Amino acid sequence: MVDIATRVYNHRWKMDPIVRSLIDTDFYKLLMCQSVFRNRPDTNVTFSLINRTTSVRLAELVDEGELREQLDHIRSLSLSRGESTWLRGNTFYGKRQMFTPEFMEWFEGLTLPPYHLEVRDGQYELTFEGKWPEVMLWEIPALAVLMELRARAVLGHMKKFELQVLYARAMTKLWEKVERLRPIDGLRIADFGTRRRHSFLWQDWCVQAMREGLGERFVGTSNCLIAKNRDLEAIGTNAHELPMVYAALAPDDASLAQAPYDVLSDWHEEHDGNLRIILPDTYGTKGFLDNAPDWLAGWTGIRVDSGAPEAGAETAIRWWKDRGEDPRQKMVIFSDGLDVDKIIELQAQFAGRVRTSFGWGTLLTNDFRGLTEDDVLAPFSLVCKAVSANGRPTVKLSDNPRKAMGPEDQIERYRRVFGVGEQEALDVIV
């Protein structure tokens, strides 16, 4: 029996929206948003989309009208009652009422601010300007929309069984990864793949496959909507945009040097336990840790998000020991360019020495490498970053010079202020 009503309803759609909820975003965005809403609500920021994989000429692949439709659709969204109830009533990281009534009231009234879209050199220049707490919520949906529109552009040329086999191959590929992870004792792994996912439905499938295949070893997803729908833990803490904006706002070199610690000082007031995770690499991990105040050594863990992850973890372990902390009580979260081989290696190297945890992103939710001719569905390196704050440019260095962002002269200044020496250049996988 055909459900005629469903079919007629579906035919009436003008488009197939990619992002259908304001909580189809990463959990850490909401945590950071609340922190910004509390501490720096009036900061004006500009976020900008940057495609680091220039060989993928997005503006030639993706129709501008379709992109605008998707972005306009996101601007039409507001928090639903059920989403609001979930955010207000759910327990996150063991804590009730993670989100304050003031923040929730603001979020319930929010629609995302306008966007600015131009085409240059075959790429989209997509920028968002306005109050930081509003603009920052564009990052994840903007990335997800562009990733999925690029996939749709490719998929639109495929026949019915080709499509079915494509997804069969992708499922097989992911499941083989799950099977390789299954025997690993003490594994703790989460989905961090929202921003560069192949599509929403595919991410949702991946998350469910991870849950069935890994059981308790799969600790949750960064995606709030999927966490809500699938009754999973929402996972995430904080990201580079906090120190980047705080740093840009610093009036002089002395306060610039202090900015990353100011971020964590604000965070320290707001969060405890497993939410106290240091992201030390924004302006170089080594300098950050060398100059860190002692109270930071009491935090729960460190997230390693650039550079060689083994080196980052060893640096963290040494630092904890130097500060009189027991690394075995500390957590290292690996979240940069992970795939199964690397996860297995890192777990073998660090299990027992620290509490390890893995935030698996692009190669969980978008590993379509090798599944099409000319690899036209391979993931690519698209980011959406704060590029200025109150008119002042932002800078990111990280532990990999290929990930550095910002005006050249400011990069030099930041390298000087933060005492960043030689860095090993590593390929940016995704």
Q: Of 120, 157, 160, 185, which lies in the binding site for its own copies, with binding defined by CB under 8 A?
A: 160
Cα 334–Cα 143–Cα 166 angle in degrees, nearest 5: 85
Strands (E) in 112-201, as ranges, are: 115-120, 123-131, 189-191
CB of 178 to its own copies, least distance (A): 9
Q: How many CA atoms lie within 13 A of 284 on its CB side?
A: 18
Residue 412 lies near its own copies (rule: CB under 8 A) = no
Question: What are 100's two structure tokens?
Answer: 């304050």
Helix (H, G, I), strand (E, B) or coil at 412: helix
Q: List C-alpha distances in Å: 386 to 219, 289, 389, 417.
A: 29, 24, 7, 20
Helix (H, G, I), strand (E, B) or coil at 371: coil
CB of 208 to its own copies, least distance (A): 7
CB of 222 to its own copies, least distance (A): 21
Helix (H, G, I), strand (E, B) or coil at 24: coil
Residue 229 lies near its own copies (rule: CB under 8 A) = no
**Residue (85 or 164) nearer to its own copies, CB:** 164
**Residue (1 or 254) nearer to its own copies, CB:** 1
**Residue (166 or 308) nearer to its own copies, CB:** 166
Stretch that binds its own copies, among 1-9, 48-56, 92-100, 380-388 (CB under 8 A): 1-9
Contacts of 399 (CB under 8 A, 6+ apart): 281, 284, 285, 306, 307, 308, 311, 312, 423
φ and ψ at 130, to 5 degrees? 150, -160
CB of 212 to its own copies, least distance (A): 4
CB of 213 to its own copies, least distance (A): 7
Residues of this chain, 98-127, that bind its own copies according to CB under 8 A: none
Residue 185 lies near its own copies (rule: CB under 8 A) = no
Q: Of 54, 80, 111, 172, which lies in the binding site for its own copies, with binding defined by CB under 8 A?
A: 172
Residue 175 lies near its own copies (rule: CB under 8 A) = yes
Q: How many residues sit close enough to its own copies to count as binding (CB under 8 A)?
A: 22
Residues of this chain, 230-249, that bind its own copies according to CB under 8 A: none
**In one letter, which amino acid is 395?**
V
Separation between Cα atoms, residue 326 and residue 206, nearest integer Å? 35
Q: Of 78, 100, 208, 390, which lies in the binding site for its own copies, with binding defined by CB under 8 A?
A: 208
Separation between Cα atoms, residue 206 and residue 365, nearest integer Å? 6
Q: Of 96, 159, 185, 294, which lies in the binding site for its own copies, with binding defined by CB under 8 A?
A: 159
Stretch that binds its own copies, among 171-179, 239-247, 250-258, 296-304 (CB under 8 A): 171-179
Q: List C-alpha distances in Å: 253 to 248, 249, 413, 417.
A: 11, 11, 9, 7
Of 62, 81, 117, 10, nearest to 384 by C-alpha is 117
**Residue (5 or 254) nearer to its own copies, CB:** 5
Q: Of 15, 119, 168, 429, which lies in the binding site for its own copies, with binding defined by CB under 8 A?
A: 168
Question: What are 275's two structure tokens?
Answer: 């939410």
Stretch that binds its own copies, among 111-119, 207-215, 280-288, 417-425 (CB under 8 A): 207-215
Of 409, 391, 394, nearest to 241 by C-alpha is 394
Residue 93 lies near its own copies (rule: CB under 8 A) = no
Residue 16 lies near its own copies (rule: CB under 8 A) = no
Stretch that binds its own copies, among 161-169, 229-237, 329-337, 409-417 (CB under 8 A): 161-169
Cα 140–Cα 201–Cα 104 angle in degrees, nearest 5: 45
Residue 158 lies near its own copies (rule: CB under 8 A) = no
CB of 157 to its own copies, least distance (A): 14
* SS3 track for 97-109: CCCCHHHHHHHHC
Contact residues: its own copies, CB under 8 A: 1-3, 5-6, 9, 159-162, 164-165, 167-169, 171-172, 175, 208-209, 212-213
